[in-house]
Amino acid sequence: MTDTAISSQQDAKPAAKITSSEVKAAIGKLFEAPAYQTFFEVSNATGYGIKSYADAVAMGVWPSTGHEIIGFEVKVSRSDFLNEMKNPEKAMPIMQYCHRWSLVCPANMVKPDEVPATWGIYWFKDGAIRKARQAPLLEAKPLTASFVAALVRRAGQIDKAEIAKAVNEARTQWERYRTQDIEAEVSRRSGSRDAAVKLLHAMEAAYGHNLDTWDIEALCKAVAITAKLGLHESWSSPISMLAMIEDSGNRIRKVLSEAGVDLPKRKSA
């Protein structure tokens, strides 16, 4: 054996095991509402009258379906299938009410001639089922009250399951959105904190001193006044203000001097 062949064998992963739940989900998808109503784990009756179960029963709702009742036997392993074939008649308590009856199993798990001629065959592969052999039309017996009761019971259980599923999905969605909101708020607050720290460092650099000893209230008022006066927008405002103050001071000194008022000497810079 070559190194390449050995490596290929070592790298090869075992095929994922197919579960009956996956197969049943595929049946429900193919025979779905509104044309069909599909029930799972259907018994032939209720109470002490139960003799057997069908893995799935689909009932045609639209006239175009012929209102057929289709029963399904699901097998995901060959050993289970062979065990079932030792006594295929045990399906009769439910099969007798069905217009068609089919085996559903992984693709090519069985040979067609191993399956009773009165059964159809569906292959399961890649999450879906496809018809491998058409199930012959059977002479279905009229439905009994016991069998209808079994179907109705399963219908009620399906409704509860759907409600529980919807509630869980809603809860999961709410938790996901809540988590996103919390993360967004944390990010927003972190961004605001970082911006504040950056501003503080810039003010300390411009002032040349550490601002942590300042009166916070006084500092905030000073910043607010500066902003309201528009002094933070451009240096032209304080320069213009300085020029105006100097010009006014000179005028006042001149008027007072002409009036004979002794003026204080100018302070040197």
Q: Where are the domains of the chain?
A: 12-156, 217-258
At residue 164, does pLDDT exceed 60? no
Edge-first strand listing for the sheet containing 128-133: 36-43, 53-60, 69-74, 100-106, 120-125, 128-133
- Please report the pLDDT score of residue 78 as a whole number: 94
Q: For 233, how many CA atoms within 13 A lie in the half-sphere containing its CB? A: 6
- Going by pLDDT thresholds of 50, 70 and 90, the confidence category of residue 253 is confident
- Going by pLDDT thresholds of 50, 70 and 90, the confidence category of residue 99 is very high
- Please report the pLDDT score of residue 267 as a whole number: 66
d(CA 76, CA 27): 14
Kindly state the average pLDDT of the residues 66-82.
94
Number of helices and strands in the chain (H, E): 7, 6
For 17-22, which contacts have Cβ atoms below 8 Å and span 24 or more sequence positions? 17/76, 18/76, 18/106, 18/124, 19/76, 20/55, 20/74, 20/76, 22/124, 22/127
- Please report the pLDDT score of residue 141 as a whole number: 94
Residue 76 to residues 82, 125, 138, 228: CA-CA distances in angstroms?
A: 11, 11, 25, 78
Averaged confidence pLDDT in the chain: 79
Residue bearing the bigger pLDDT, 74 or 203: 74
- Please report the pLDDT score of residue 144 as a whole number: 92
| Predicted model pTM | 0.56
- Please report the pLDDT score of residue 236 as a whole number: 55
Cβ atoms 36, 65 nearer than 8 A = yes
- Please report the pLDDT score of residue 98 as a whole number: 95
Cβ atoms 72, 102 nearer than 8 A = yes
- Going by pLDDT thresholds of 50, 70 and 90, the confidence category of residue 117 is very high
Residue bearing the bigger pLDDT, 197 or 32: 32
Kindly state the average pLDDT of the residues 30-44.
91
Partner residues linked to 125 by β-bridges: 128
In angstroms, what is the C-alpha Rg of the chain?
A: 43
Residue-wise pLDDT for 201-246, tens only, equals: 777 676 666 766 666 677 777 777 666 666 555 555 566 667 777 7
Kindly state the average pLDDT of the residues 111-128.
94
* 3-class secondary structure, 49: helix
> Is the torsion defined by CA of 149, 152, 157, 158 positive or negative?
positive
Partner residues linked to 74 by β-bridges: 104
